[in-house]
Structures are given as structure tokens and as C-alpha cells.
A and B are shown apart, each in its own frame.
Chain A
Amino acid sequence: MIPAYEIEGLTFSYGTVPVISLDRLEIPAGEIVGLVGPNGSGKTTLLHMLAFIEEPHQGDIRFFGQTCTESNRLALRRKVGLLLQNPYLFHSTVLSNLTWGLKIRDVPRQVAAEGALKALALVGLEGFEHRYAKALSGGETQRVALARALVLDPDVLLLDEPANHMDKESIERTESIVSTLNREHGKTIILTSHNASTVQNLAHRILYVEQGRVVPASLDNLFSGNLVQDGSVFRTERISVDLPDRMNSGSRLVIDAQQIRLMLDPPEPDLNNVFSGLVSAMTLENGKIKVKVDAEESFQIVLENSDPIVSNIRLGQRCWLHLTPPSIKVF
């Protein structure tokens, strides 16, 4: 199956500040993909490039096998729907907002109005068509903007931090729409969030974005520092981690929270990358237990609920962490 997006050598900067730097990325068609990263990591810029409204400074984006060029940019843009984090509605009625995209595609007025009403019903705003768009609440605005994107029947739907301005009911409805669109219509959906737990339920896969790059692990344990000893050790301000492979460059270290081994007894002394600390928090997130351990650095560890160690962990308890080789990534 042809991927929805194939990205190669993509770069984008604001002035001299690099925002996006992606060597290669593939987003399969028909999947829900979560882009997770902190504010300012480049998620929104990447989304704008995937919607073809922002041009990369270098590199290629192939959309269902079709390379984006100046001549087909508008045609590709019309196949993608983007819901902005803080959407803008035109100074007109809700119905006019929804039909404008169809009108500029020369869809007959009657057909456009029917489509708009269906999209409004889908987002749970029946009867809102004659309301003045600027008088809607934040959640309603977000839902009208979603309906405006849906009415155009895009091949790919991009949602930028959809939960940000929504109440619980709107979030649940959006999740259900996204899920249905993907399951029943095979649409590819990409949504961003600064918090993995908000997209975990929906997404088939999560890509973590940090400083404009897609990084190979979750960002729960992200440290800045530098390589020492010919690239065999990564040193942060407080700890040194032996790397499984020698690295030539890298200024960030991520430790995959799901691949850290947590022990309640001291391990064998010759095991490297072991840190001792105290359990400072335990939370239940999406059916998994997240344990915070304050060692020289603070670490997050994700455990399956069925893991036998879970029942023995107590707050304030001393424990040992082994950063297993697969958990260590430098970029």
C-alpha cells in the first residue's frame, strides 16, 4: 500500500533558527498517527507542511506517491483537511463558513448546503447553521471548524492539538468522529499533542517530535548534554550513561520509559547504567502504571498493570533502575 506521506530531507527554519529537520519519515495510509512533543518542538510547522500550506526550505514530501511541486500544490492542498489549534471562523453564519470551501470548488449551492448540514450533525451542532459564527463558544468554534474540514471530504485529516480548546463532551465526540472516519472510511488521520496520554487511546502509532526531529522513543525521560569519551558515554549535568553503540554526534538523550528495568533489590555490582533513587509518584495512565523515581536525575518508568512488581512498590521506597541498552537513544 502506498504510504500517505513519504518525507525525505525536509528542513524548515524561521530566519536562522531551524524548526524542522527530518531525514526520512513515512506515514502509512489508513492509520491514526499521533505527533507528540513539547510546545515549540515543530509539530505545528510540520503539520502545516503536511497540509501543503507551508513550503519546506529543502526536501520532498510525497503524498500518496505524488511529489509535491509548485504546479500541484493547490490540488494536493485540497485533499488534506487541517483543523487549526485555534481555528478562525469567517464573519458570517455557520452555514456560510461550512459551504465556502465547497463553493470555491464549484460545488452547486444546494449540494453544498446539504453536505454542510450533514457535517454539522456529525459534530453535534444541528440547528446551528444560521448562527453567527463569531458568537460561538470556544468548543463550538472548534467543532464548526472540524465540520468545515470534514465537509470537504479530505483524504487526510490533520488535527493540531484538538483537545486544547474543547470541553470533555467535544473531546469525546471528536475522538469518536476520528475513530469512525478511520475505521469506516479508511481516512489517514494525524493529530498532535504535547501529551502522549491524550492521543494514546486513538493513535495506531505515536511519533515523538523534539526540536523538529522525530525521535525514536517517548519523551518522558529527555536529557540535554554531550558526548564524551569518543562518543561512548553521554553526560548530562548530573549523570553519565554508557551508550550501547559509539555515537558521532548528539546533544539529547532519551530513555524509553517502557524499557527501563525497575528493581526493588540492589542488582549485581558489575551491571552498568544503574541508578538508585526513591519512588516519588505513582499514577495510573491509560491502564498503565507510571512510576516517578528521583535518582540523580528524575526518571519516569511505565509498567504494565499486570507486572508483579507493581503490587510491591510503595511511595518513598528505595529502588534501582537499570537503563537497558534498547532504552537508550541519543540524537
Chain B
Amino acid sequence: MFVAHCLLNQNAKVAEFARYPGVVSPIVDLARQNGYVVEQLPCPEILAMGITRWWTTKDIYDNPGYRRHCAGLTKFTADVIERYIKRGFDVRLIGLDGSPSSGVRFTGTSEPIWGGRPQATVEQYKIVPGKGIWIEELEKELQRRRLPFPKATGVPMDDPTFNMKKSVIEIDKFLEE
């Protein structure tokens, strides 16, 4: 099971978005209890903009430089995914829904689009269907290697209406599929 970086380390989150001190144990424990090997994906945001980064949307990250940064990280990440696939593992992925980078089913945009002079409220951040930039680039790298994109879902922790109980039920179902 490849999990979004911040599911094992909430310290990587952008300010105000860490919901747990460190490990998001309700999710990670579930994967471990179901016998999954847990591998951690890199967090492209902390590796590019650091821990004091501004709130950002997919629209802002959708630029050649950030995509190139993510594509660079996909090389060594896909090496690991490839090995698990080739050794016959049932490879899956749990992303961070609502994240501009690590979203699988949902990502985030703003209305109006953020950018320029910082000025933002949490209400302006809109959760919309789609993958984040990092997951899109990872998908491209796996396609380039002619590898299947893993069966994937996300934990919507960047959604202001996030409910862990609901998410645990969803992930439990996903693990049993």
C-alpha cells in the first residue's frame, strides 16, 4: 500500500491542516492490520516549498516548473512501485483527497483563483473532482513504464467537512475489494 506522505507524517502539512500530531493511525493501522506492506510516497510540496509554504491550489501548482519537480520525484518513486508490481504484490494507493498535489479522487481549486498578494480564507478553497499534480505526474511515469496505475482512493483530510469515521468505513471497504 503506497500512502500519501502526510498519512504517516502530519508535520508535512501546510499550516492549519494537520489534524493529527504525527501518524494518521486510524488509516495506517487499518492497512497494517489488513496485512498490507505500507510504503510512503514523497511529499512534493515540502520538498519544493518547505514547511512554511503558503496555502496553494492545483491551479497555482499547475506550472511547468512544479510539474518538472514532481516528475523528478516520480522516477525513484516509480522504481519502488515497479518492484512491488513485478514481485506480484497487489499494489494500491491511498492519496490525500482535496490536496492540490496528492489528491486521487478530489483536488482543490479556489474561487476566485488564488495567487499574487496573499489573501485567502478557507471558504474559498473548493474541493473539485480530479487528481492533484503529483498524482497526475506519477500516473504519467507509470504509463511511460507501461505499468498499471494502482487501484487507488483517497482520504479527504483537506476537505473542511472531513469525517474520519466515514473515511475509515470507506478505506475498510477499499482494503477488502
Bound pair: A and B?
no
Chain B residues packing against A (C-beta within 8 Å) = none
